Amino acid sequence: MARRPPAAALLFAALLAAASADHGAVETGVFQVRRKFVSSGGGDIGAFRAHDGSRRGRLLAAADLPLGGLGLPTDTGLYYAEIGIGTPTKRYYVQMDTGSDILWVNCISCDRCPHKSGLGFDLTLYDPKDSSTGNTVSCDQGFCSATYGGLLPGCTTSLPCEYSVMYGDGSSTTGFFVSDLLQYDQVAGDGRTRPANSSVTFGCGSQQGGDLGSSNQALDGIIGFGQSNTSMLSQLAAAGKVKKIFSHCLDTINGGGIFAIGNVVQPKVKTTPLVPNMPHYNVNLKSIDVGGTALKLPEHIFDTGEKKGTIIDSGTTLTYLPEEVYKEIMVAVFAKHQDITFHNVQDFLCFQYVGSVDDGFPKITFHFEDDLSLNVYPHDYFFQNGYSTTKLCLGR
Ligand SMILES: *[C@@H]1O[C@H](CO)[C@@H](O)[C@H](O)[C@H]1NC(C)=O
Ligand SMILES: *[C@@H]1O[C@H](CO)[C@@H](O)[C@H](O)[C@H]1NC(C)=O
């Protein structure tokens, strides 16, 4: 459901979110997040690797997925990871998305899929016939009927199990399910990683719509970290390979970060519980302070329910707030700057400001259930417009 919805509200660079479903399986794993690097014109993956390498030690979990990307709307607005699929293993770059469920990659049967990315790397079309461990999933197989809640009408053994996903920004992918070995790095007892693999079922994307079909910021696919049984995480957990718990830490300044599967034992992290039985990762937001003063907001504004509540979604660039909350925050943030004149740049509200924004504007603190607070500083919620260091913008 996620990726990058079109309209913008107030921008926040999300820092850390931990989500857990049930415990009970065995191992842990870490995936590192790399920055999707567009602004520098191509991207220096080597630099990211070095950067991520130094971060890796700080999150000790069990499987390893390095991430790339940067959440700024002026940059790529998303995070991606490199994964290995098949025998022999080929590398694929996939966008990390906690707001959707399935993993899919562009398939050999895709006519108009990009072969090269504006991000500076070659893209790979997945071919199930080219992998000795690759298989097409037919519609009468268990995975298919579990996904669709029963046998699809007209299903015969020779028909593939099709999938289709429509994302929040209007882009889409359709294709059919295949199964193959997914390779990931498993954290061993000594904190080092070693390659491990497990068979997973994922989408072979034969048709992509919206900006998924264009090459500018193209990736090989999307990895959904949603909670449904079809997600890669649920499949690895069901196979007893990992615990069904993950954390991610996204670096909003240098880009990249880390995506860790399994319990994080180091450093000690604070947590807030997930709201049970929700399709997405909902958390309970209790209150918001601006400059140390709590906003007076209508009761029940943060209640969780159908189409309500606070969702953690790595596939959405901006933070979206209800209109009433956004207005209150704006009033409080600009209380000491009544003289500022705004102008619109696309979906953003921009203004001129000389001086240190962190000195001139208040910190915003989000308070979540169980005494977890997230501080968002002016340099996080404003972003620079282009190369001018004095022109600042935020969502509207
Ligand atoms: C998958 O793991 C098995 C057992 O560890 C190993 O023998 C095999 O080479 C691995 N396959 C790939 C493609 O990495
Ligand atoms: C998901 O998998 C679990 C464990 O295998 C199973 O108990 C549950 O019924 C499945 N849920 C759905 C919606 O199929």
**SS3 for 67-97, per residue?**
EEEECCCCCCCEEEEEEEECCCCEEEEEEEE
Q: How would you label 375-392 residue by residue, b for 16+ Cβ within 10 Å and e otherwise? A: ebebbbbbbbbeeeeeeb
pLDDT tens digit sequence for 276-321: 777 777 888 888 999 999 998 877 777 766 666 677 666 565 677 7
Relative to the alpha carbon of 238, which ligand is closest?
A: 2
87 CA distance to ligand 1 middle (Å)? 8
Pocket test for ligand 1, best of 181, 186, 236 (most atoms within 8 A of CB): 181
Report whether residue 197 contacts ligand 1, using a CB cutoff of 6 Å: yes
Token output for 292: 């140390």
pTM: 0.70
Greater pLDDT, 193 or 291: 291
* Residues forming beta bridges with residue 126, ordered by sequence position: 107
Per-residue confidence at 384, pLDDT binned at 50, 70, 90? confident
Residue of 52, 75, 180, 313 marked active site: 313
**DSSP H helical segments within the chain, as ranges?**
45-56, 142-148, 232-238, 323-333, 357-360, 378-381
User: What residue type is assigned to position 387 of the chain?
Assistant: Y
Report whether residue 146 contacts ligand 2, using a CB cutoff of 6 Å: yes
Topology classification of domain 16-261: Cathepsin D, subunit A; domain 1 (2.40.70)
Neighbours of 138 (CB within 10 A): 17
Q: Whose CA is nearest to atom 5 of ligand 2?
A: 238
- Output the CA angle 203-180-24, nearest 5 degrees: 90
Would you call 143 helix, strand, or coil by DSSP?
helix
Would you call 22 helix, strand, or coil by DSSP?
coil
Would you call 341 helix, strand, or coil by DSSP?
coil
Token output for 322: 């209800």
132 CA distance to ligand 2 middle (Å)? 29
Evaluate whether 298 touches 287 at the Cβ level (below 8 Å). Answer: no
Mean pLDDT for 240-244 is 82
| CATH class as words, domain 282-395 | mainly beta
pLDDT tens digit sequence for 92-111: 988 888 778 899 999 999 98
Report whether residue 87 contacts ligand 1, using a CB cutoff of 6 Å: yes
Looking at the predicted structure, is the pLDDT value of residue 12 above 60?
no
Q: Is 97 in the active site?
A: yes
* Residues forming beta bridges with residue 289, ordered by sequence position: 294, 365
Q: Is 169 in the active site?
A: no
Per-residue confidence at 188, pLDDT binned at 50, 70, 90? low
Relative to the alpha carbon of 85, which ligand is closest?
A: 1
Mean pLDDT for 32-61 is 34
Q: How would you label 159-176 residue by residue, b for 16+ Cβ within 10 Å and e otherwise? A: ebbbbebebbbebbbbbb
Three-state SS for 244-282 is CEEEEEECCCCCCEEEEECCCCCCCCCCCCECCCCCCCE
Report whether residue 238 contacts ligand 2, using a CB cutoff of 6 Å: yes
Rg (C-alpha) for the chain, rounded Å, is 21
Range ranked top by mean pLDDT from 160-164, 270-274, 309-313, 380-384: 160-164
- Whether cis (ω within 30° of 0) applies to the bond prior to 267 is yes
Find tokens 């039985």 and name the residue.
277
229 CA distance to ligand 2 middle (Å)? 6
Which pLDDT belongs to residue 128? 95
Please name the helix (run of DSSP H) or strand (run of DSSP E) that holds residue 349, with its range, or none: strand 348-352
Pocket test for ligand 2, best of 147, 227, 229 (most atoms within 8 A of CB): 229
Report whether residue 239 contacts ligand 2, using a CB cutoff of 6 Å: no
Which pLDDT belongs to residue 267? 65
CB-based contacts of 304-311 (< 8 A; 24+ apart in sequence): 304/275, 304/278, 309/275, 309/278, 309/282, 309/283, 309/284, 309/285, 310/282, 310/283, 310/284, 310/285, 310/368, 311/99, 311/280, 311/281, 311/282
Please give the Cα distance from 334 to 343 (Å, whole number): 15
Which pLDDT belongs to residue 51? 32
Among 52-66, 69-83, 176-190, 288-302, name the one with the lowest average pLDDT: 52-66
Please give the Cα distance from 201 to 219 (Å, whole number): 19
Could you tell me the residue ranges of all domains in the chain? Answer: 16-261, 282-395
300 CA distance to ligand 1 middle (Å)? 51
Residue of 97, 185, 251, 380 marked active site: 97
144 CA distance to ligand 2 middle (Å)? 13
